[in-house]
Structure 1
């Protein structure tokens, strides 16, 4: 069991503490800010109190038994500024969650570079800054990468892992293995603004806002369409898998129509869609699309996906028996 340190006792640090303590790891919330003792004690009580409340909430909604709360909470400790060096010296993995300013990051990583073992992994949880940029603040830089958690961290399975140009591949492998070991679903992506999910969801959220702005539908109707249409399908099929399922040619022609009808280039197809069309890589029908279907039994694959849709329908309470 690796020893975990979460630097920064805010929302992200507390969420990460819940995740790893739940999975059996010892976790220390580390506050690097030099505070008066009363303020440090207040922050400690607030952080541990919120973690306990979160665990009790998770028990209350059926994730675990109430009796599990105390032993999980016992795995979480708090280190104020004066205790930080000792706590960090024993950490195998350090997650940084200080405020999203370059100055705060630079100061934090300078401290972590001296207080941690050289083989300890240092991962930033930033949602805005690139690992290539932050890596320069860490020594040695090979042990640094980004680990972008999605809130609430203790529930959302996905973690976006973004190594920098100098990150040792073995470090990426260690972090991915650690995350998989606690039940998370890590995805590796290059250092790029917005990673994967924020980049996709920003487009969807802005377009939903435009639909309200243009009077196409009410906010309530748009959210209903999202939950029972968009979200329902993308809970089973990945976005690119969904393109292949329906056919890249359908997207190609839809892009053209939407661009013309709405007089905007927001729906213009990227070059890869046109290249796939030209090469005949349009999905299931040609056994090649964004994904490779050449070695799978397509009817069995389709049946499995449809069965998953039925399971989700039942979970949502939207499945109805037939009229016979």
Structure 2
């Protein structure tokens, strides 16, 4: 998380922190969230307004943005993650600059995030600014949730230093960042961004340039199915959400989806999917070819030693015990672990 004080008049951030300068072109919600993350972790941050605007309007935007970051930090303070005194150290690490000072903001930035609205022309304009002023070796990442890296790479001056970095809101809280490189992206650029994110407490994962990344694609299916069950009268919204919190989400928070398939057995998914297709007449419940292939090859997970994961060299009893410990820790955290009567 993070933020050091951004000065509404765009004054320079203090030097000598020993950490890379981070820049974000776009001072909206995502830009502010990224500034929070890196300033919290001790980095000087340049938050650059991508929109030309009158000075008074810029000052108002800068003040409101900084106030929003400060509110987020105070909320963390209330939950004991930092002391109130820490906020005064964190906020001055952020410098908010108007578009007219983009060259100053990007000159010494090792990593540059693009965070402008999801409009292709706005992206094109932001990348033109970045290409004209960022250092040749800077890693450039778009925070887009809409456009594929393969689409945007053509707008970049140095595509070998470019990839998408999809943060989940609120960016300063959610650990995950989905990294999606383009074919021209160099491995060194990907590794550099992965290293930066891990150093500030984030968890980067890689995915191909495919619509929806990983999490949005999964959650779109789940959210639509939940809404459909309400529409069909299967259950109330309250009961569906209760089931998600203490059953669905509880298990997948420990195992993940594919590990869960292997844990119970891919045969269970295979037959359950066939039943749902037959019972509902809806092909959306059909399992993909890889599930049938695993069934035919006898690779159905933990009980056969291989599924989506390879368990053949694993200490399976120790693995099961470790996962059980995680389940119990979540139960205790949620106040649902009860002693025997």
Q: TM-score normalised by the shorter chain: which range applies?
A: over 0.9
Q: Which runs of 5 or more structure 1 residues have no equivalent in the other structure?
A: none
State the 1:61 CA deviation.
1.5
Aligned to 1:214: 232
Secondary structure of 2:43's match? Answer: coil
Q: Does 1:109 align with 2:127?
A: yes
Q: How far apart in 2 are the matches of 1:256 and 1:297?
A: 33
Q: How far apart in 1 are the matches of 2:65 and 2:47?
A: 9
State the 1:32 CA deviation.
2.3
Aligned to 1:278: 296
**Alignment partner of 1:162 out of 180, 192, 195:** 180
Aligned to 1:86: 104
**Alignment partner of 1:241 out of 232, 252, 259:** 259
**Alignment partner of 1:254 out of 265, 272, 282:** 272
Aligned to 1:305: 323
Q: How far apart in 1 are the matches of 2:240 and 2:196?
A: 38
State the 1:90 CA deviation.
1.3
Q: How far apart in 2 are the matches of 1:18 and 1:87?
A: 17
Q: Does 1:25 align with 2:43?
A: yes
Secondary structure of 2:329's match? Answer: helix
Aligned to 2:139: 121
Equivalent positions of 1:28-43 (< 5 A) are 28-43=46-61
Spell out, residue by residue over 1:92-145, the C-alpha distance to the aligned partner (whole angstroms, 9 max, x if none).
101111010111001110111001011111100000100011001011111110
Q: How far apart in 1 are the matches of 2:228 and 2:50?
A: 42
Q: How far apart in 1 are the matches of 2:67 and 2:262?
A: 47
Equivalent positions of 1:63-78 (< 5 A) are 63-78=81-96
Secondary structure of 1:313's match? Answer: helix
Q: Tell me, yes or no, if the aligned pair for 2:116 and 2:123 is still in contact at 8 Å.
A: yes
Aligned to 1:60: 78
Secondary structure of 2:109's match? Answer: coil
Secondary structure of 2:30's match? Answer: helix
Alignment TM-score, normalising by the size of structure 2: 0.94
Give the number of aligned pairs: 323
Aligned to 2:241: 223
Structure 1 runs of 4+ with >3 Å offset: none
State the 1:263 CA deviation.
0.6
Alignment TM-score, normalising by the size of structure 1: 0.99
**Alignment partner of 2:282 out of 260, 264, 270:** 264
Q: Which runs of 5 or more structure 2 residues have no equivalent in the other structure?
A: 1-18
Q: How far apart in 2 are the matches of 1:288 and 1:249?
A: 13
State the 1:252 CA deviation.
0.2
Q: Does 1:195 align with 2:232?
A: no
Q: Tell me, yes or no, if the aligned pair for 2:50 and 2:116 is still in contact at 8 Å.
A: no
Structure of higher RCO (CA pairs closer than 8 Å, 6+ residues apart): 2
Aligned to 2:223: 205
Secondary structure of 1:186's match? Answer: strand
Q: How far apart in 2 are the matches of 1:192 and 1:65?
A: 41
